[in-house]
Amino acid sequence: MAERPTGPAVTGFVPPPAPGPERIEGRFVTLERLDPARHAEDLFAANQGQDWVWDYLGYGPFAELEAYRAWQAGMAESRDPFFYALRDRAGGKVGGLASFLRIDARNGVIEIGHIEIAPPMQQTPAATEAISLMIGWAFGAGYRRVEWKCDALNAPSRRAALRYGFSFEGIFRQHMIYKGRNRDTAWFAIIDRDWPRLARAHADWLAPGNFDDKGGQRQSLSALTAR
State the pLDDT at residue 74: 98
Inside any domain, residue 3:
no
* Structural domain boundaries, residue 185: 23-207
Inside any domain, residue 166:
yes
Which whole number is the average pLDDT over 202-227? Answer: 95
| Residue 214 pLDDT level (bands cut at 50, 70, 90) | confident
Inside any domain, residue 216:
no
Omega cis (within 30) before 81: yes
Inside any domain, residue 51:
yes
Question: Could you read off the pLDDT of 158-192 as tens digits, one per residue?
Answer: 999 999 999 999 999 999 999 999 999 999 999 99
The residues pairing with 183 across neighbouring beta strands, listed in sequence order, are: 176
List, edge to edge, every strand of the sheet that includes 109-117: 23-25, 29-33, 82-88, 94-104, 109-117, 145-151, 181-191, 167-178
Inside any domain, residue 186:
yes
Global pTM reads: 0.96
Q: For residue 88, what is the domain's CATH number? A: 3.40.630.30
Measured between alpha carbons, how far is 114 from 187 in angstroms, rounded to an integer?
14
pLDDT at 1 over 80: no
Inside any domain, residue 31:
yes
How many independent structural domains does the chain possess? 1
The H or E element spanning position 146 is: strand 145-151
Work out the mean pLDDT of the chain and round it to a whole number.
97
Inside any domain, residue 110:
yes
Measured between alpha carbons, how far is 190 from 185 in angstroms, rounded to an integer?
17
Question: Could you read off the pLDDT of 91-137 as tens digits, one per residue?
Answer: 999 999 999 999 999 999 999 999 999 999 999 999 999 999 999 99
Phi, psi of 117 (to 5 degrees): -105, 120
Inside any domain, residue 66:
yes
Measured between alpha carbons, how far is 154 from 116 in angstroms, rounded to an integer?
13
State the pLDDT at residue 215: 87
